[in-house]
C-alpha cells in the first residue's frame, strides 16, 4: 500500500535515526547553548570554534545584524559573531519550554538534533533553532550544523496582542460622544494627518504587514484598486482554489476556522479577507489606485498620489511605502507573430473568469504553469475544445501527495509558530538539498503520470539541479503545475497539446503551424505570467529609483531573496510578496524594522 500522507512519506525516508530520550536531547542542547553564551561573553574565538562544524551555517533574521542574511562556513560564522556579538550582546540562551522539545529529525538528508531556544539582545528578545550533529562518526560530542537567530520583539515596544487588552471606551462613557464605529471611520479617513506607512496592495501580503504594524502601534493605511476587499481573489477564474492546504496558509494572529476545507476556494478566502480587516481593525481604502510618487530626502517622507474610483485625487506623505502587489503585478504579454490579426478575444490569464460562455467553441491556452492548466481544465469542463500551447519545459507534480511534501512539517504536530520558526531556519544550501530530495521522491510517486505526459510530447523539467517547484517559484515566480486533473486530460488526449516552437504565426482563424495546419480557435488565453517587480518600480517611481533599488526576488549574495522583507537601497521603500506562509513569517521582520526606525533604535 502506497502512503499518501506527506508527513508519513517523509518519515519513511528517515531511516537509521538513533532512539534517544527527550531528556538527554535537552541536556545535550542546554550544554551547547551554555557553552555558546560563555564563549560569546568572553569573546573567546577558540571556544567558539569548537562549537561549530567546518561546514556550518548561521541564518540571522534581524537579531544580530538588523538584516536577513545567511553566512556559511565556520570562519564566516565566527566573523559574524565577532563583528556583531559585541554590539548586540546576545545572552540568556535557553531551551524555550513553551515550544516543541528537542527532537531527532532528518533535515536535507542528515540526522540531527533539532532544538528551539530563546535568547535576548540589548534591543530585543528572540527565538532560534539549532541543529546539532556528532563531531565525528565515533565522537559523542555535538557541534552545530545550522543556527537560526530571529528577532521576535523589541524591548519596550512589544506587540499589543496577547498582553493587556486595550480599554477602548471605558464603562463610564459619554452617550452623546463618538462610539467605536465613529472613531474607526474617523481614523481611516486621514483627514488631518498622514499614515506613517502606506501599504500598496490589499491581498494576503498587504494584510499581513498591516496587521503586524498595527500591533506595534504604527499608523498604517492599505490602498487597493479593487472595489471590495478580497477582489484580488474574488474576481479570478471561477474554479480557483489554493494549491496548498489550509494548515499552511493562516494569516497572522487569526487562524482559519477548523471547519474549513483542506483547499480553500477563492471566494471563501476573499470573504475571510473582509472579515480579517474588520476584526484586526485595519485601515483600508478600496477603489484606490496608487499612481506613484517621489521621495523627499530632506523630510524623509514620500509624496504619493492616489486616485479614487470617482476620479478624485489625494496626496499623502507617509514615511514608508510597502509594495505588497505580489511577486509581480504587471501581466506579461510577450510578442507573438500575427497575434494582433487574430479575430477573437485575446485574454491574459488575469482577465479570464469562466469557461461557460465558450461551451462548444475552441480555445488555445498559451502557457503550461498552474494558471494555464487550470484555465484549460475549466474550459474543457465547460464543453470547450481546448489546446494547451507549451512554451518551455514545465515541472508537473500531483497535488497529492507529491506537491504537499514541502509542507509535511505542518502535519507533524508542532504548533504553527514552531513550524514557522523551523521553516525559516533552513539555510539556502540545505533548503535546496531538502527540496531536491523531495522532488526525487515526488518523481517516484508520480512516475506513471510523468511517463504518460512524455508519451504525448509534453516537455518536463524538475528545476535547477532537480530542486523542484519551490525553487522555481523563489527564482522565477512560476514554471510548474500542481496536477488536479489537467495532466490526466493531456495524457488521455482530451485536451490537446502543441509546442509553441511548432507555431509559425497566429492568423485570424487561430494558429498556423509550421506544417501548414491551422489550429482553429475562438479564444486565445495568455497564461504567460507577469513581469518582475522591477517593472512596477520603474512605472511608479521612475528609472533612477529602479536602478537604485536593483533586482527584486531571486537570491542574492547573502543567500536571501533580494530586496524582500528588509531595508532596500531606497530609504522608506519596502517589498513583501510570496505565499501566505512566507508573508505570515516575514511580515514580522519587516514590521520590526519599521518600528525600530520609527523609534530611533535603527538608523537608515
Q: How far apart are CA 497 and CA 489, in angstroms?
A: 10
CB atoms within 10 A of CB 296: 12
Q: How far apart are CA 51 and CA 135, in angstroms?
A: 9
Listed residue (331, 306, 330, 343) closest to 546, CA to CA: 330
Given a cut of 50, whether residue 273 has pLDDT beyond it is yes
Confidence of residue 532 (pLDDT cuts 50, 70, 90): confident
Listed residue (419, 443, 430, 525) closest to 144, CA to CA: 430
Strand bridging mode 220-223 / 197-200: parallel
Same domain, yes or no, for 348 and 386? yes
Given a cut of 60, whether residue 281 has pLDDT beyond it is yes
Domain count of the chain? 3
- Mean pLDDT of the 567-588 span: 97
Same domain, yes or no, for 252 and 362? no
Confidence of residue 261 (pLDDT cuts 50, 70, 90): very high
CB 64 within 8 A of CB 83: no
Q: How far apart are CA 259 and CA 351, in angstroms?
A: 31
Same domain, yes or no, for 221 and 342? no
Quote the pTM value: 0.92
CB neighbour burial string for 380-394, b if at least 16 within 10 angstroms, e if fewer: bbbebbbbbbbbeeb
Same domain, yes or no, for 443 and 523? yes
- pLDDT for 15 equals 41
Listed residue (156, 148, 131, 154) closest to 61, CA to CA: 148
Given a cut of 70, whether residue 114 has pLDDT beyond it is yes
Q: Which residue has the cell 503545475?
A: 481
Confidence of residue 492 (pLDDT cuts 50, 70, 90): very high
Which among 501, 530, 559 is the end of a domain? 530
Angle, CA 504 vertex, CA 502 and CA 505 arms, to 5° = 130
- pLDDT for 466 equals 95
Q: How far apart are CA 521 and CA 499, in angstroms?
A: 16
pLDDT digits (tens, 9 = 90+) for 184-225: 999 999 999 999 999 999 999 999 999 999 999 999 999 999
- pLDDT for 124 equals 96
How many Å is the maximal CA-CA distance in the chain?
83
Higher pLDDT, 561 or 179: 561
Given a cut of 50, whether residue 88 has pLDDT beyond it is yes
- For residue 241, the 8-state DSSP code is B
Same domain, yes or no, for 419 and 501? yes
Indicate which CATH number applies to the domain containing 57. Answer: 3.10.450.50
Which among 512, 530, 548 is the end of a domain? 530
Same domain, yes or no, for 413 and 561? no
- No. of helices (H) and no. of strands (E), the chain: 17, 27
Q: Which residue has the cell 485536451?
A: 495
What ranges make up the beta strands (E) of 78-123? Answer: 91-95, 103-107, 110-120
Please check whether residue 183 lies inside any domain of the structure. Answer: no
Question: CA-based Rg of the chain, rounded to a whole angstrom?
Answer: 26
- pLDDT for 10 equals 54
Please check whether residue 202 lies inside any domain of the structure. Answer: yes
Please check whether residue 171 lies inside any domain of the structure. Answer: no
Q: What cell does 599 get?
A: 523609534
Same domain, yes or no, for 537 and 592? yes
Q: How far apart are CA 62 and CA 596, in angstroms?
A: 11
In whole numbers, what is the pLDDT of the chain averaged over residues?
92
Q: Which residue has the cell 528577532?
A: 151
Same domain, yes or no, for 583 and 476? no
- Residue 208's Cβ-count burial label (10 Å; 0-12, 13-18, 19+) is buried
Confidence of residue 266 (pLDDT cuts 50, 70, 90): very high
- pLDDT for 172 equals 56
Q: Which residue has the cell 512524455?
A: 454
Please check whether residue 190 lies inside any domain of the structure. Answer: no
Long-range Cβ pairs for the range 447-453 (8 Å, 24+): 449/396, 449/398, 449/483, 449/487, 449/488, 449/491, 450/396, 452/487, 452/491, 453/396, 453/487, 453/490, 453/491
**Residues in contact with 510: Cβ distance below 8 Å, sequence separation at least 6, in sequence order:** 342, 362, 364, 518, 519, 520, 521
CB atoms within 10 A of CB 408: 17
DSSP codes, 322-336:
EE-S-S--EE-----
Please check whether residue 172 lies inside any domain of the structure. Answer: no
pLDDT digits (tens, 9 = 90+) for 16-49: 445 456 569 999 999 999 999 999 999 999 999 9
Which among 505, 530, 555 is the end of a domain? 530
Q: What percent of the chain has pLDDT over 70?
A: 93
Given a cut of 60, whether residue 58 has pLDDT beyond it is yes
Confidence of residue 14 (pLDDT cuts 50, 70, 90): very low
Q: How far apart are CA 71 and CA 79, in angstroms?
A: 9
Q: Give the helix ranges, DSSP H, for 54-110.
A: 74-88
Same domain, yes or no, for 301 and 445? no
Please check whether residue 11 lies inside any domain of the structure. Answer: no
- pLDDT for 140 equals 65
Strand bridging mode 124-136 / 301-308: unpaired
DSSP codes, 179-228:
-HHHHHHHHHH-SSS--SEEEE--SHHHHHHHHHHHHTT--EEEE-SSSS
Confidence of residue 129 (pLDDT cuts 50, 70, 90): very high
Domain containing residue 525: 332-530
- pLDDT for 17 equals 44
CB 183 within 8 A of CB 166: no
- Mean pLDDT of the 372-391 span: 97
CB 197 within 8 A of CB 594: yes
Q: How far apart are CA 392 and CA 460, in angstroms?
A: 9
Same domain, yes or no, for 526 and 589? no
Same domain, yes or no, for 431 and 542? no
Given a cut of 70, whether residue 163 has pLDDT beyond it is no
The torsion defined by the Cα of 268, 271, 273 and 278, in degrees rounded to 10, comes to: -150
Q: What are the beta bridge partners of residue 241?
A: 265
Given a cut of 80, whether residue 412 has pLDDT beyond it is no
Same domain, yes or no, for 360 and 221? no
Indicate which CATH number applies to the domain containing 312. Answer: 3.50.50.60
Please check whether residue 74 lies inside any domain of the structure. Answer: yes
Please check whether residue 558 lies inside any domain of the structure. Answer: yes
CB neighbour burial string for 25-58, b if at least 16 within 10 angstroms, e if fewer: bbebbbebbebbbebbeeeeeeebeebbbeebbb
Q: How far apart are CA 427 and CA 444, in angstroms?
A: 26
Amino acid at each position: 500500500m502506497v502512503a499518501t500522507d506527506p508527513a508519513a512519506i517523509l518519515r519513511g525516508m528517515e531511516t537509521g535515526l538513533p532512539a534517544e530520550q527527550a531528556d538527554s536531547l535537552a541536556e545535550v542542547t542546554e550544554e551547547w547553548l551554555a557553552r555558546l553564551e560563555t564563549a560569546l561573553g568572553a569573546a573567546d574565538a577558540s571556544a567558539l570554534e569548537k562549537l561549530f562544524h567546518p561546514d556550518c551555517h548561521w541564518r540571522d533574521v534581524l537579531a544580530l545584524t538588523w538584516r536577513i542574511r545567511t553566512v556559511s562556513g565556520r570562519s564566516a560564522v565566527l566573523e559574524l559573531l565577532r563583528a556583531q556579538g559585541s554590539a548586540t550582546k546576545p545572552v540568556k540562551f535557553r531551551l524555550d519550554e513553551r515550544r516543541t522539545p528537542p527532537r531527532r529529525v532528518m533535515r536535507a538528508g542528515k540526522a540531527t538534533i533539532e532544538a528551539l531556544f530563546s535568547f535576548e539582545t540589548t534591543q530585543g528578545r528572540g527565538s532560534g533553532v539549532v541543529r546539532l550533529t556528532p563531531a565525528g562518526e565515533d565522537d559523542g560530542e555535538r557541534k552545530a550544523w545550522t543556527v537560526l537567530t530571529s528577532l521576535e520583539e523589541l524591548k519596550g515596544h512589544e506587540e499589543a496582542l496577547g498582553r493587556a487588552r486595550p480599554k477602548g471606551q471605558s464603562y463610564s462613557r459619554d452617550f452623546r460622544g463618538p462610539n467605536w464605529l465613529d472613531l474607526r471611520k474617523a481614523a481611516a479617513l486621514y483627514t488631518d494627518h498622514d499614515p506613517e506607512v502606506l501599504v500598496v496592495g490589499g491581498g494576503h501580503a498587504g494584510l499581513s504587514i498591516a496587521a503586524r504594524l498595527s500591533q506595534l502601534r504604527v499608523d498604517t493605511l492599505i490602498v487597493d484598486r479593487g472595489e471590495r476587499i478580497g477582489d484580488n481573489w474574488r474576481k479570478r477564474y471561477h474554479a480557483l482554489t489554493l494549491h496548498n492546504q489550509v494548515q499552511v496558509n493562516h494569516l497572522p494572529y487569526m487562524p482559519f476556522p477548523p471547519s474549513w476545507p483542506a483547499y480553500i476556494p477563492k471566494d471563501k478566502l476573499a470573504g475571510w479577507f473582509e472579515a480579517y480587516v474588520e476584526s484586526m481593525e485595519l485601515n483600508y481604502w478600496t477603489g484606490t489606485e496608487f499612481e506613484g510618487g517621489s521621495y523627499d530626502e530632506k523630510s524623509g517622507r514620500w509624496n504619493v498620489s492616489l486616485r479614487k474610483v470617482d476620479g478624485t485625487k489625494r496626496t499623502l506623505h507617509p514615511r514608508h511605502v510597502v509594495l505588497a502587489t505580489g511577486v509581480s503585478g504587471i501581466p506579461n504579454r510577450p510578442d507573438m507573430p500575427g497575434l494582433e490579426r487574430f479575430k477573437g478575444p485575446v485574454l491574459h490569464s488575469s482577465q479570464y473568469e469562466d469557461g461557460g460562455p465558450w461551451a462548444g467553441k475552441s480555445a488555445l491556452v498559451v502557457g503550461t504553469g498552474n494558471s494555464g492548466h487550470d484555465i484549460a481544465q475549466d474550459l474543457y469542463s465547460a464543453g470547450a475544445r481546448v489546446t494547451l500551447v507549451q512554451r518551455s519545459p514545465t515541472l508537473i507534480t500531483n497535488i497529492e501527495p507529491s506537491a504537499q511534501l514541502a509542507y509535511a512539517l505542518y502535519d507533524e504536530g508542532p504548533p504553527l509558530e514552531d513550524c514557522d520558526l523551523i521553516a525559516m531556519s533552513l539555510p539556502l544550501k540545505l533548503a535546496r538539498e531538502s527540496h531536491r530530495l523531495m522532488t526525487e521522491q515526488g518523481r517516484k510517486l508520480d512516475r506513471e503520470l510523468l511517463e504518460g505526459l512524455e508519451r504525448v510530447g509534453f516537455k518536463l523539467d524538475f528545476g535547477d539541479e532537480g530542486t523542484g517547484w519551490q525553487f522555481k517559484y523563489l527564482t522565477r515566480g512560476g514554471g510548474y503545475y500542481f496536477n488536479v486533473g489537467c495532466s490526466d486530460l493531456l495524457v488521455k488526449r482530451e485536451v490537446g497539446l502543441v509546442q509553441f516552437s511548432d507555431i509559425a504565426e497566429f492568423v485570424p482563424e487561430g494558429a498556423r503551424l509550421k506544417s501548414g495546419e491551422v489550429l482553429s480557435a475562438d479564444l486565445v488565453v495568455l497564461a504567460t505570467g507577469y513581469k518582475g517587480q522591477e517593472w512596477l518600480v520603474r512605472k511608479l517611481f521612475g528609472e533612477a529609483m529602479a536602478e537604485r533599488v536593483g533586482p527584486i526576488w531571486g537570491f542574492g549574495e547573502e543567500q536571501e531573496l533580494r530586496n524582500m522583507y528588509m531595508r532596500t537601497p531606497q530609504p522608506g521603500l519596502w517589498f513583501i510578496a510570496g505565499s501566505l506562509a512566507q508573508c505570515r513569517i516575514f511580515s514580522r521582520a519587516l514590521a520590526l524594522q519599521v518600528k525600530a526606525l520609527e523609534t530611533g533604535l535603527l538608523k537608515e
